[in-house]
Structure 1
Amino acid sequence: MEYRALRVRRQPEALRIVIDRPEQDNSINGELIEDLHAALDLAEADPALRLVVLEGAGPVFCSGMDFADAARDGAAGDGRTLPTEGGRAFYGLLKRFTALPRIVVSVVDGRVTGGGVGLVAASDFVYASEQSSFALPEALWGLLPCCVTPFLIRRIGFQPAYAMTLSTLPVTAARAAELRLVDEVTDGAERALRRLASRITKIDASVIADGKRYFARMGISPEELEEVAVTEFARLMSSPAVHDRIAGFATERRMPWETVR
């Protein structure tokens, strides 16, 4: 298959996926979501694979929403229709991470913001380099990380997710490990992956599926919160002020707190 936003490579025990939109800071758009689903289809269809490893090309793992796409959607005047469709598509991808009968590992080496935090939070294991950072800046734009929040709370708990959302402050890799957003801070991710693979490859794929399904019943259920998340995301995205901020960034690289002159 030809991917538009990814580089995909099969190893004996793992499917390696690289988000390959470095000029757009590996932001999330419809093509990326479709490509990721196609890659996950490939992993799910191959009984020999146990791991899916997700990385980002360049210094940014993933910067979240593609504001250029969002600005075009806003200019199209589709109100809540396009945000609802986009929110549901992204939420569906995160749900698939958590349900996939393979171990999903995010290997982070750089900056992670917005929806990128969602990809990390929905992963089964996360390895991050010391220079990595994690932030939810949505509130600065008049938004909330609606689709990320259920998965983030599932992983790190209510108060840390709440604080990350309303402070908008970046979290270091070390602090992310304390919060359990990151499983291990290491500059030797390949070594950590080999260590993990040496055990995971001894586990039947059915046991991985059973384990993920069983533990999903132990805590917060993203399935039950989907409508709440998608509806609130669409409501916030329909705000004219949010449209203006996103358009200002997409066309002039103007941050929302900068005064228009």
Structure 2
Amino acid sequence: MDRMSYDSIVVTTSEHRLTVTLNRLMRQNALTDTMLAELHEALDLAEHSPSCRMIVLQGANGVFCTGMDLDEAAKDVQVAGDSPPRGAQFFSLLRRFTAIPRVVVSKVDGRVSGGGVGLVAASDFVFASERSQFSLPEALWGLLPCSVAPFLQRRIGFQGSYSMTLSTLPLNARKAERLGLVDEVAEDPGLPIQRLASRVTKLEATTIAAAKRYFARLWPITEEMEAAALRELDNLLSSASVQHAIAGFASRDRSFPWER
């Protein structure tokens, strides 16, 4: 087994599997431009490995991913009219999850929020431990899960996505399983992944690619959806109230908008 360390992820490879561990534990595995670029690089590695059939994405220490890094967002909030680079890079990553000719699996053990829900929703399979929780807290900041919503709606439907957005309440693993966000809840999520791997490794990469193309035609994530998501994110990030909320959190007092 080979192991490669980047700034914010760790990649291990075996004959048929590439495992990506999000590795910004001091920042709750929040997404930065660097992490997104490295995740794209990991997908490149999987695509260039003829024997690879499965990509497993996981966190550590009770955290999968908590979405946008607000400290980084506070430094480079976009002015009105500019398309946020991170929004485009993130949407592109989710789209790649749905198109890459490899089976993408999210292995969740703990907290998932914001953009982390997007990573889960865009995966082909999701296996979670009992202690896992899933939430979309963006509305508390005056934001919306713009890039997440198309992929989440495709996975769990309109009302589930809408209620997660407006309520901002976390879902436990069993509720997420009932909604279809999680495929199976297990004490050890690695066990159902092993069962899946025993079948997936028998598939040709061309078959995986054909399945993804066909089902993408049945429920497409269009360029118009992407453009609308990035426009809405740009508009929201340009709001003075949102910028104030993010800046307040990034300051020394780490205050949340609802605490001020």
Shorter-chain TM band? over 0.9
Give the structure 1 partner of residue 165 of structure 2.
165
For 2:9 and 2:101, locate their aligned partners in 1 and report how far apart those are by CA, in whole Å. 21
Structure 1 residues 123, 222: CA separation in 2 closer, same or farther (over 3 Å shift)? farther
For 1:117 and 1:223, locate their aligned partners in 2 and report how far apart those are by CA, in whole Å. 21
Give the structure 2 partner of residue 95 of structure 1.
95
1:3 aligns with 2:6: yes
For 2:127 and 2:82, locate their aligned partners in 1 and report how far apart those are by CA, in whole Å. 34
Give the structure 2 partner of residue 118 of structure 1.
118
Q: TM-score, normalised by structure 2?
A: 0.96
Give the structure 1 partner of residue 66 of structure 2.
63
Query: Which has the higher mean CA deviation after the structures are superposed, 214-223 or 239-248?
Result: 214-223
CA-to-aligned-CA distance 1:15-54 (integer Å, 9 cap, x gap): 0100000001000010000000001000000010000000
For 1:118 and 1:211, locate their aligned partners in 2 and report how far apart those are by CA, in whole Å. 21
- Aligned to 1:65, the other structure's residue is in SS state coil
CA-to-aligned-CA distance 1:101-158 (integer Å, 9 cap, x gap): 0000000000000000000000000000000000000000000000000000010000
- Tell me the amino acid that sits aligned with residue 257 of structure 1: W
Give the structure 1 partner of residue 107 of structure 2.
107
Structure 1 residues 97, 106: CA separation in 2 closer, same or farther (over 3 Å shift)? same
CA contact (8 A) 1:108 1:126 kept: yes
- Tell me the amino acid that sits aligned with residue 259 of structure 2: E
- Tell me the amino acid that sits aligned with residue 161 of structure 1: S
- Tell me the amino acid that sits aligned with residue 90 of structure 2: F
CA contact (8 A) 1:73 1:82 kept: no
Give the structure 1 partner of residue 255 of structure 2.
254
Give the structure 1 partner of residue 186 of structure 2.
186
For 1:38 and 1:254, locate their aligned partners in 2 and report how far apart those are by CA, in whole Å. 34
For 2:82 and 2:53, locate their aligned partners in 1 and report how far apart those are by CA, in whole Å. 35
CA-to-aligned-CA distance 1:154-187 (integer Å, 9 cap, x gap): 1000010000000101001000000000000012
Could you tell me how far 1:57 is from its partner in structure 2? 2.2
- Aligned to 1:70, the other structure's residue is in SS state helix
Give the structure 1 partner of residue 128 of structure 2.
128
TM alignment of 1:140-219, pairs within 5 A: 140-219=140-219
Give the structure 1 partner of residue 244 of structure 2.
244
- Tell me the amino acid that sits aligned with residue 55 of structure 2: V
Could you tell me how far 1:189 is from its partner in structure 2? 1.7
For 1:29 and 1:160, locate their aligned partners in 2 and report how far apart those are by CA, in whole Å. 27
CA contact (8 A) 2:60 2:109 kept: no
Number of aligned positions between the proteins: 256
Structure 1 residues 254, 104: CA separation in 2 closer, same or farther (over 3 Å shift)? same
Match of 2:34 among 17, 31, 36: 31
Identity of aligned residues (%): 53
CA contact (8 A) 1:44 1:101 kept: yes
For 1:94 and 1:224, locate their aligned partners in 2 and report how far apart those are by CA, in whole Å. 15
Match of 2:46 among 43, 46, 55: 43
Runs of 4+ off more than 3 Å: 80-83
Structure 1 residues 172, 2: CA separation in 2 closer, same or farther (over 3 Å shift)? closer
CA RMSD of aligned residues (A): 1.2
CA contact (8 A) 1:112 1:132 kept: yes
Structure 1 residues 83, 135: CA separation in 2 closer, same or farther (over 3 Å shift)? farther
Structure 2: gaps (5+ residues): none
CA contact (8 A) 1:153 1:161 kept: yes
- Aligned to 1:217, the other structure's residue is in SS state helix
- Aligned to 2:258, the other structure's residue is in SS state coil
Structure 1 residues 113, 222: CA separation in 2 closer, same or farther (over 3 Å shift)? farther
Structure 1: gaps (5+ residues): none
